[in-house]
A and B are shown apart, each in its own frame.
Chain A
Amino acid sequence: MSAAPLALLLLAGAAGVPEVEYPLGPLRVPDLTQPRRPFVLTDLRYALSDAGGRAHAFGARVRAGNWGFLGAELDDSSWGLTLRTLRLDLYGFETRGQYDVGAGYRFPWLEVHADVTRRREEAGAAWVADLRFAGRVSQDWELLAGVMRDGDRSAGPGRRHLDNAFLGFLYQGGEHVELRGELARYRVLTDGGDEIEGGFLGLDAVGRVWTGEVSGRVAWEDPRGRFGFDDVQVEAGLRLPLLDRLLVEASTHQRWQGGAGRIAHGLRGGVSLHARRVTLPRFGDAARRTTALARRGVELGYNERRAHGEGGRRELRERLSLSPRRAELADDLAALYQAQVDERIVPVLGVELVHEQDLLRGERRREYRAFLGLPWPLASPLRPGRGATPFLEVDYAHVERSFEAGFVSVSRELGLTARLSRELELLLRWGREGQAPFDLVRNVGRPRRIDFAIVYAYGR
C-alpha cells in the first residue's frame, strides 16, 4: 500500500472512523495517483433490456498510466470512444449513421468545448457545430459564452435550434451557494418550417439554507413574431434533514405561457428514513474538501469547477490524479474519497408522491413511489447503524395517467438493486407501461420491460 492512503487510513482510525464492511468485504482507498499496472480497469457496464426485443449495451473504461482514461461504449445502435486527460476531453460516437465528435480543453483561465454533429445522409448530412467558452475570472467566478449553428436550414420532424448565442456567468461561492445565469438569442425551426427568433433568460441557484439545501430555476423565453408568446418556467426544491436520519424533500415546477396562463405544473414530495445520519451534498467534510480541492486545482492552473455530486467528485479526483503534481495532491484526493465514504447515504425506507398536470397533453399524472432498503451488515432497516452501507433496495412505483377524455393509464415498475460494494452493483427492473390513448388507437399492447445491469466503477 502506498504511503498516502496508508496515512489516511491511519488518520481515519485515529479519528475513530470504523472500517467500512461491504458484502464483498472491505475496500481499500483507490490508489489513483500511483497505479500499479499500465492499464487499470476503472469502469465496466453491461446492460440488457428486454421490451419486446432485446438490446445489449456495453461500456468499459481504463486508466492508461498517468496519461488518461480511455473509454469505449457499444450498444445496438451506436458505438463510441472517449478520452479524458488532465486538460483534454475527447469523444466520438456513431449512431445509425450520425457522427458526434467533441473536444474540450482546460487552459488555466479558459475552458473551451467544441461539439460537432454530422447527421446521417438521409437526414441531409448537415453539420451542427456548438462552441462554448468559460473564462475564469477568479476562484469563484466564471464568464460563459457560446455559439451554436445548424447547417441544415430545412424543415423536418422535430423542433430544433438553428442558431444560438449566449452569454452567462457562473458563481460558485464555496459549497454554500452556486448561481448560474444565461442570456441568449436564438433562432429555432419548428416542424412546420417556421423560424422563430427570440431571447432567453435563465437563472439557476442552489445553496444551503439552515440545515437544508434549496434550489431554484427561472427560465424566460421571449420569442418574436407569429409565435411570440412568452414562456416562463419556474422550479424550486428543498431537501431538509430532520432528526439526523430523516430526509424530507419537496419540489415544484410551474410553466406559464402568455395568454394561455399556467399550462403545466408539478409537485413532488418525499420522506425517507436512513440507517445513518443524512449529510447533504453541500454539507459535511466531503463538500468542504471538494471546494478546497477544486480551489487547489485552480491554483495549479487546472481550472477545476466544484462538483458537489458523486459523479462530479469522482471526475475531479480522477483528473487531478493525472496531474504531474499528483503526489502532493494524493492525500487530499484520498481524504475526499474517504469523506465521501464516511458521509454515504444509506436509505432504508421512503415514500414519494408526485402530482403533475400538463395542459398541452390534457394529462394529469400521479406517481406513488416507495422503497425499502436493507443495509449491510444485515440488520433491521429501522435500527441505526454507523457502519451500515447500502446493500439491497427494493423500490416500487405506481404511475397513474388520467387524460381529459376520461381514460386512465396505469404503469407499474419494480426494481431491485444490490450493492455488493461501493464499486459494484447489480440492478434488476421490471415494468409494465400503461397504454396511453394513442397506444390504444394504434392497438399497441401494454409492453412489459425487463432491465438488468451490472455496473463496476473503481474509486466511486
Chain B
Amino acid sequence: MALAARRDFLRAGAGCALAGLAARGASQDPAARLVPKRNGALNVQPLRRFEAAAGAEPLIEPELVALQMRAVYELGFERIRITVPFGRFGPDFLGAVPYVRCARALGIDVLAVMADFTGFDLAQALVRDATRAEVVAAYLAILDGPGEVAAPAVKRRGELALQVLNEPTHFLGLTPRDYAFELLAPVRDAIRVRSDSVRVAAAAALGNVDGLARLRELFQLGYDRYCDVVAYHVYSRRLIPALAGLARGAVWVTESGVDGTARHRDWYTRTFQEIRETLPEVERLYWFDLFDRAPGRFRLIDIVRDGPGFAAVPESAGLIAHLEERVAEAAAGRPLLAFADLVPDVTDYFPTPADLDVIAATSFA
C-alpha cells in the first residue's frame, strides 16, 4: 500500500483498531471501562525521536510515545518489554522512561531490559562493584519510583521487572560463563538488596537453534539460580521441542515472532499455542514487535509523519484484526475508555528534575 493511500486509510478509520476501537468520549460514560487486556505481551521500541539527529530538540517527541503507548493500550496488551538503554544515563535512557511510566500507570506490566544497543558501556559498568551499585540504584530509583495509576479504572499499577542484558553472546560477545557469573549473578544481588518486588529476568540466547547450545550451557552453569525467571527467544519452530524440560522454574519468552507480515497471525495463534502446550513452564509470551524500522518483517505497525505529528499505519493487518477481535469479544459491546482520556498529556510521565538529580549523583553525570 502506498504511503499516501495508507494515510487515507488511517484517516478513514476503516476497520482500524488503532484509530477507533476505544470510542472517543467514552470516558464520559460512567460505564466505560479499560480496554480489556487480552492479548498478552509485546516488545516496544523506546523511540524518542523519529529522525535520529544528535542533539536535536526536543530530546523526546511526546507524540511518538503517545502513539506507541496508545497502540499498546488499544490492542489490549497487558505487558510490554522495552529496552531502557543505559547510554551513561543520556538521552536514550531518558527517552525510555516515559514508556515505562506510562505503561505502568495504565496497569500494563513492564519488563525493562537493561542493555545498550551498541557498545560495552553498560556491561563495563555492571561488572565493577562500585558502578554496578550506582547503575542498579539509578535504574530502580527512576523506573520504580513512586507513581500513580492513570485513572481510577486502573486497579493496579503495572509491575516492573528488569532483564539483565539482551542476547549477551550475540550482541556483546560474552560467553555463557562470563554472563552467568560475572554479570547476571552480581546484578541480581544488587537489585535484590534494593528491591524485593522487582523480578529479575535473565537474558535469552539467540532465538533459533544457534542459541540452543548457549542456552543449554547457561542451564548447566546454573544461571537459573541467579534470576527469578529465565527467558527464551523463539523465532524457529524447530527450537520449541528442543527447549522442553530444560527449565525448572518460570520462563518468559521475551521475544517471539516470524519474519513476514502475512505469517504473523498464524504464528501468534498456532505457534504461540504450540509453545504453551510444549513448554508449560512458559508464563509469558512477548510478541516481537510493535514497531521497528524494517518494513514487512516483524512489526505490527509502521509509523509515519502526519503533518506536524505522527500516525500509526497498520501493517500486520491480519494479526491486528485478530487482536482487535479478541478485545472486542472481551469488551462485549461495553464502552471503553479512550487512551487520550486516560493519558491526556504523556509528558506527565517524562523524566523529572528529581530523576536528573538521581543521575547527577552518579559518577556518570
Contact = CB atoms under 8 A, between A and B. Distances in A.
Interface stretch (A93-101, A111-119, A130-138, A432-440): A432-440
B152 interface: no
Interface in A151-193: 155, 157, 159, 190-193
B216 A229 contact: yes
Given A361-B169, A438-B182, A192 B174 contact: no
A226 B245 contact: yes
Interface in B139-190: 169-176, 178, 181-182
Interface string B213-230: 110110111111100000
Given A441-B174, A443-B124, A260 B213 contact: yes
A404 B171 CA distance: 7
Interface in A222-243: 226-227, 229
Given A192-B220, A360-B217, A441-B174, A260 B242 contact: yes
Contacts of B221: 190-192
Nearest to A404: B170
B167 to A, nearest CB: 9
Contacts of B171: 404-405
Given A192-B223, A438-B182, A227 B216 contact: yes
B50 interface: no
B233 to A, nearest CB: 14
Contact of B222 (A191, A363, A407, A442): A191
Consensus secondary structure, chain A interface? loop
A161 to B, nearest CB: 14
A403 B173 contact: yes
Given A190-B221, A441-B172, A359 B216 contact: no
B220 A227 contact: yes
B175 A438 contact: yes
Interface residues of A, number: 32
A19 interface: no
Contacts of A159: 220
A192 B216 CA distance: 11
A407 B209 CA distance: 22
A407 B173 contact: yes
B363 to A, nearest CB: 15
A193 B224 CA distance: 11
A263 B220 contact: no
Interface string A422-437: 0000000000000011
Contact of B220 (A157, A190, A260, A363): A190
Given A192-B221, A194-B220, A441-B124, A360 B174 contact: no
Contacts of A157: 181
Given A226-B246, A261-B209, A437 B216 contact: no
A437 B174 contact: yes
A258 to B, nearest CB: 8
A348 to B, nearest CB: 39
B123 A441 contact: yes
Interface in A346-376: 359-363
A259 B222 CA distance: 20
Contacts of A362: 169-170, 173, 214
Given A259-B212, A263-B213, A443-B124, A192 B170 contact: no
A404 B169 contact: yes
A42 interface: no
Given A404-B170, A441-B124, A443-B124, A361 B224 contact: no
A442 B173 CA distance: 13
Contact of B173 (A226, A229, A436, A443): A436
A257 B242 CA distance: 11
B225 A438 contact: no
A437 B171 CA distance: 10
20 contacts: A191-B220, A191-B222, A192-B222, A194-B220, A226-B245, A226-B246, A260-B216, A263-B213, A359-B214, A360-B217, A362-B170, A362-B173, A404-B170, A405-B170, A437-B173, A438-B175, A438-B182, A440-B124, A441-B120, A442-B124
> Ordered nearest first, which 5 A-B pairs have the shortest CB separation?
A192-B222, A437-B173, A403-B173, A259-B242, A260-B212
Interface of A: 155, 157, 159, 190-194, 226-227, 229, 257, 259-261, 263, 359-363, 403-405, 407, 436-438, 440-443
Given A227-B219, A438-B173, 14 more contacts: A155-B222, A157-B181, A260-B209, A261-B209, A360-B176, A360-B214, A361-B169, A404-B170, A437-B172, A437-B174, A440-B120, A440-B124, A442-B124, A443-B124
